[in-house]
Structure 1
Amino acid sequence: MKWVYIAVGVILYIKMLLISNPIDEWLGPSIVEVVVQDSGVPNAVSGIIFRNRLYDTIFEVVVFTISIMGCNFLLANEKPLSKVYRFTDQPSIVLARLGATIAALVSIELAIRGHLSPGGGFAAGVAGGTAIGLIAITSPPELMQGIYQRWQASIWEKISVLIFILLSVITLFGIEFPHGELGSLVSGGIMPLLNILVALKVALGSWAAVLIFIRYRGLL
């Protein structure tokens, strides 16, 4: 049987080399042009995520929320660590906080301009979560927990999810804001706001997950 598999593989390889796949000529506008025209934003990926497949994006945000809740539920019955080890040498602290500053600035840029250039809410949230993680590995866990509670980050996370779902449902019903001028910062209707809400949700959710795992699993 081994030689049969080898022969079939060779035949398929020759077929791919010698016989090209037929391609129908597309006389109409490209799919990217259609998406850009319908969404009103130059970034066709954002147009697809927040318009053509907005229904899927809603559930992606909900799944991320459930995963953060699952982390808390999974570790709720475990005993917190009495001591959390972290980086204390000055070079590591400087480099981590420099990286956190850069990641935070990138996060803001991606959240605000994600509908105009490559990026968007999810990428912005990941960059924001990276900044928080870099700060966490060089700071006392009590400090991070205190800031999280002082600014009521968990409440803002839930508010951002609820507003995102509400605006998404309004969009799915066919109610759209004016698109504005293509390529300008205030364009694409509701998409810039959805980008910012997703970025806020992912960043704050990542912060919650980081605090949970630091409390019960440590850093190093």
Structure 2
Amino acid sequence: MKWVYIAAGIAFYIKMLVLPNASLGFDLSIVEAIVKDCGVPSAVAGIILRNRLYDTIFEVVVFTIAIMGANFLLANEKPTSKIYQFTDRPSIVLARVGATISALVSIELAIRGHLSPGGGFAAGVAGGTAIGLIAITSSPERMQAIYKRCFAATSEKLSVLIFIILSVLTLAGYELPYGQLGLLVSGGVIPILNILVAIKVALGSWAVVLIFIRYRGLL
């Protein structure tokens, strides 16, 4: 069976070398129309948070249900007595440096996702990565205490609620002024939605990390 996979891989590679690049004939006027319609330089952000905002609402809802499902399925299990974590100093230092970099990237993607490649989902993943790196170098009790002290669960639910409200208002035709194209404060409601999605995904990832550490002992 592996020879079938190898032959398919070789055929696909030859196809990429021989056949012309289909993107050469792409009409850039489509991208320009999207940018003009959405008021943001990032056409991807405009499509996700305006042209197909209806789909994005349900993507956020599905992610929320997935987090609730993980909590529900593991709630009746016995917490594990052994937690697997980094114990050597070099690994701890490297993990926390990586967490710092991931957190900074998360903030950058959240606030500038409408101007450049990035956006709320990517920012949330970067934020969740930072939290995961901290979790494998810190005690579970400390992570749980910080989670409660920061009201992370409440903030996550509020971010979803505000996102849905703003999205419904946008779909109903009530939009903020676009401002000047290319500025940080521009694009109407799109930058706000980006930040809300980033908060939702990052805090949701934090909740899942805590759940799996408590009941599985590892991520």
TM range, normalised to the smaller chain?
Answer: 0.7 to 0.9
Following TM superposition, by how much is the alpha carbon of 1:156 offset from its aligned partner in structure 2, in angstroms? 0.4
User: Aligned residue for 1:99?
Assistant: 98
Alignment of 1:37-186 (within 5 A): 37-186=36-185
2 CA distance for matches of 1:85 and 1:171? 45
Structure 1 residue runs of 4+, over 2 Å off?
A: 23-26
2 CA distance for matches of 1:98 and 1:70? 32
2 CA distance for matches of 1:24 and 1:71? 45
Find the residue that maps to 1:30 and give its secondary structure.
helix
Following TM superposition, by how much is the alpha carbon of 1:194 offset from its aligned partner in structure 2, in angstroms? 0.2
The verdict on how the C-alpha distance between 1:149 and 1:38 changes in structure 2, with shifts beyond 3 A counting, is: same
1 CA distance for matches of 2:51 and 2:192? 17
With the length of structure 2 as denominator, give the TM-score of the two structures.
Answer: 0.88
2 CA distance for matches of 1:96 and 1:64? 26
Following TM superposition, by how much is the alpha carbon of 1:77 offset from its aligned partner in structure 2, in angstroms? 1.1
Find the residue that maps to 1:38 and give its secondary structure.
helix
2 CA distance for matches of 1:213 and 1:30? 47
Aligned pairs, number: 204
% identity of equivalent residues: 76
Following TM superposition, by how much is the alpha carbon of 1:215 offset from its aligned partner in structure 2, in angstroms? 0.2
CA RMSD of aligned residues (A): 2.3
The verdict on how the C-alpha distance between 1:181 and 1:149 changes in structure 2, with shifts beyond 3 A counting, is: same
Opposite residue 162 of structure 1, the aligned amino acid is: L
The verdict on how the C-alpha distance between 1:25 and 1:108 changes in structure 2, with shifts beyond 3 A counting, is: closer
2 CA distance for matches of 1:149 and 1:82? 22
Q: Which runs of 5+ in 2 are unaligned?
A: 1-10
Q: Which runs of 5+ in 1 are unaligned?
A: 1-9
Following TM superposition, by how much is the alpha carbon of 1:24 offset from its aligned partner in structure 2, in angstroms? 9.5
